[in-house]
Amino acid sequence: MTDWTDPDAFAAALERAETKEKGNCFEDFAEGETVEHDPGLVLSRRGSELWAGQTLNYDPTYWRPSVAEARGYDAVPVHPDYLLACVMGASVGDLSEKGGYFLGRDDLRYHRPGVAPGTELRVESVVESKAESSSRPAYGIVTWETTGYDAATGDPLLSYTRTNMIPRREPIAADGEGANAGDSEDEEAERADADLPDELLAPEGGHFEDFREALARADGRDAAVAYRHERGRTIDDTTVAQLPLATLNTAKQHHNADAMADSPSGEIVAYGDVTRSIALGHARSDEQTLREVSCDDERFHDFVTVGDTVYGFTHVLDANDGDARNAGEVTFEHVAFNQRDEPVYSGTRTALVRKRA
Ligand SMILES: C/C(=C\C(=O)O)C(=O)SCCNC(=O)CCNC(=O)[C@H](O)C(C)(C)COP(=O)(O)OP(=O)(O)OC[C@H]1O[C@@H](n2cnc3c(N)ncnc32)[C@H](O)[C@@H]1OP(=O)(O)O
């Protein structure tokens, strides 16, 4: 009888055995195809508190019943970043588990404010487009539109389009060699001599009026309203693996150091939405946020690995006094950066920000 655990026999068995694959390659996606994601979870207060606590998102609306009720909710809602991670997590097995990196996201929209714990999620994606990567022959680029629904009512809760690098079964011939392969010295010099305004101004406080006043101060001068946030968060075991796994995100990039040793990053990397949520947490800690409205042009620029520290930088783009009596709409550009001051994430975000009482 074969002793399967004999080291030589077992090595030979491993060599011969087929691997039952998980996930899909670039070639497996067809434009226009709808993918119903089987995983899905019931949103929980515990999950929301774990996500928001570890990413330094401490708005009391998402923690304290008395504050949630004063702000018009029946009960403490789940944090919007946790809701986003749960929608994306359920989609990963079908869309990106194979191993491509998350490049960016557009058109993130929150369709219902204050989603309650206990809501069962149903998640669906449509393959929007596929493109070849000219610089990385082992990968293609796929964009999907994903929507998370309340499974009981069918109401959409949140939707976005996201783009990933996705491994190909068959690499193609390529004309570039990865990062900045074709840049001339002139292009490099241009990057070093970036065209920044003379003055960067910070708002006095975090209310709507503070952002509006700071924009008025900058108006007509060579100035922008832009500032950094003091807090940093070092990526550890909890943030790199526990948070994505708690939202059913099976991407090996975040928890399989062995598989990642032989990949462009060479090691496990933080889930992009953990990096993003930490940067937004830093920004929200200096802001009187009432409610999230939307995010656009979200991009992931570089890997974040265990031991890296994520900081936040905010550039205020616009402040509009809309219909709400107690809040106005502010649009920000946020940048997450590491301990070497290198940007790792950027995106624009619109939120309703409370007015001074
Ligand atoms: C897996 C996961 C979640 C999940 O899924 O479960 C995650 O959370 S993982 C963590 C978050 N993530 C990262 O840590 C990646 C950070 N990133 C980088 O470290 C570098 O980006 C790179 C090393 C990956 C590549 O670097 P690079 O080789 O220098 O190439 P880039 O130019 O950046 O992009 C290559 C090609 O993608 C095109 N491209 C880029 N962005 C977009 C976009 N938004 N839409 C359409 N096309 C785009 C680009 O146009 C180029 O196309 P071509 O090959 O045709 O030129």
DSSP state of 78: P
* pLDDT for the residue numbered 18: 84
pLDDT, tens digit (0-9, with 9 covering 90-100), for 192-226:
556 789 899 999 999 999 999 999 999 999 999 99
- Does the beta carbon of 134 sit less than 6 angstroms from any atom of ligand 1? yes
What distance in angstroms lies between residue 35's CA and the mean position of ligand 1's atoms? 23
Q: What does the pLDDT look like over 162-183, one tens digit per residue?
A: 999 999 998 886 554 444 444 5
For position 172, what pLDDT does the model report? Answer: 81
Helices (H), 241-306: 243-246, 257-260, 272-284
Residue pair 347/276 in contact by the 8 Å Cβ criterion:
yes
8 A C-beta contact, residue 187 and residue 193: no
H or E element in which residue 11 lies: helix 7-16
ipTM score of the complex?
0.94
Q: Count of CB atoms within 10 A of residue 314's CB?
A: 25
User: With contact defined as beta carbons under 8 Å apart, do 84 and 158 qualify?
Assistant: yes
Q: How far apart are CA 328 and CA 343, in angstroms?
A: 29
Residue ID of nearest Cα to ligand 1 atom 3: 102
Our answer on whether the CB atom of 110 is closer than 6 Å to any ligand 1 atom is no
User: pTM for this structure?
Assistant: 0.88
Record the tokens describing residue 70, joined without a space.
């004063």
Rg (CA), the chain: 22
**What's the pLDDT score for residue 43?**
98
- As a whole number of angstroms, the distance between CA 235 and CA 270 comes to 7
Which residues on adjacent β-strands are paired with residue 328? Answer: 353
DSSP string of 155-213, one letter each residue: -EEEEEEEEEEEE-SS----S--STTTT--HHHHHHHHT----SEEE--SSSSHHHHHH
CA distance 357 to 207: 10
Q: What is the DSSP letter of 32?
A: T
**Average pLDDT of the chain?**
92
Q: Which atom of ligand 1 is nearest to the CA of 275?
A: 11
Ligand 1: which atom is nearest the Cα of residue 270? 10
Structure tokens at 312: 């936040």
Domains and CATH numbers, the chain: 20-172 (3.10.129.10), 183-235+270-357 (3.10.129.10)
Ligand 1 mean position to 133 CA, how many Å? 10
Ligand 1 and 349: CB distance under 6 A? no
Q: Specify the pLDDT at position 33.
A: 98
Cα–Cα distance, 89 to 246 (Å, whole number): 9
Per 3-state DSSP, what percentage of the chain is helix, strand, and coil (rounded to 5)?
25, 30, 40
User: Which of 22, 96, 135, 269, when mutated, tests ligand 1's pocket best, judged by the most ligand atoms within 8 Å of its CB?
Assistant: 135
- 84-101 tens-digit pLDDT: 999 999 999 999 998 889
Token look-up 């802001």 returns: 287
The amino acid present at 81, given as its one-letter code, is: D
At how many degrees (to 10) do helices 272-284 and 80-95 cross?
170
Out of 96, 103, 166, give the residue to mutate to test ligand 1, the one with the largest number of ligand atoms within 8 Å of its CB.
103
Return the number of other C-beta atoms located less than 10 Å from residue 24's C-beta: 18
Question: Does residue 138's CB lie within 6 angstroms of at least one atom of ligand 1?
Answer: no
| Chain centroid, CA 284 distance in Å | 16
Q: Are strands 343-354 and 309-320 parallel, antiparallel or unpaired?
A: unpaired
Nearby residues of 154 by Cβ (< 8 Å), 6 or more positions away? none
- How far apart are alpha carbons 20 and 24 in whole angstroms? 12
**10-residue stretch averages of pLDDT, the chain, 357 residues long:** 80 82 93 96 97 96 96 96 98 92 97 96 98 92 98 98 95 55 54 75 96 97 94 94 94 95 94 97 95 96 97 96 90 96 96 95
> What sign does the dihedral 149-150-153-159 (CA atoms) show?
negative
Q: What is the spatial distance between Cα 217 and Cα 115, in angstroms, rounded to a whole number?
A: 37
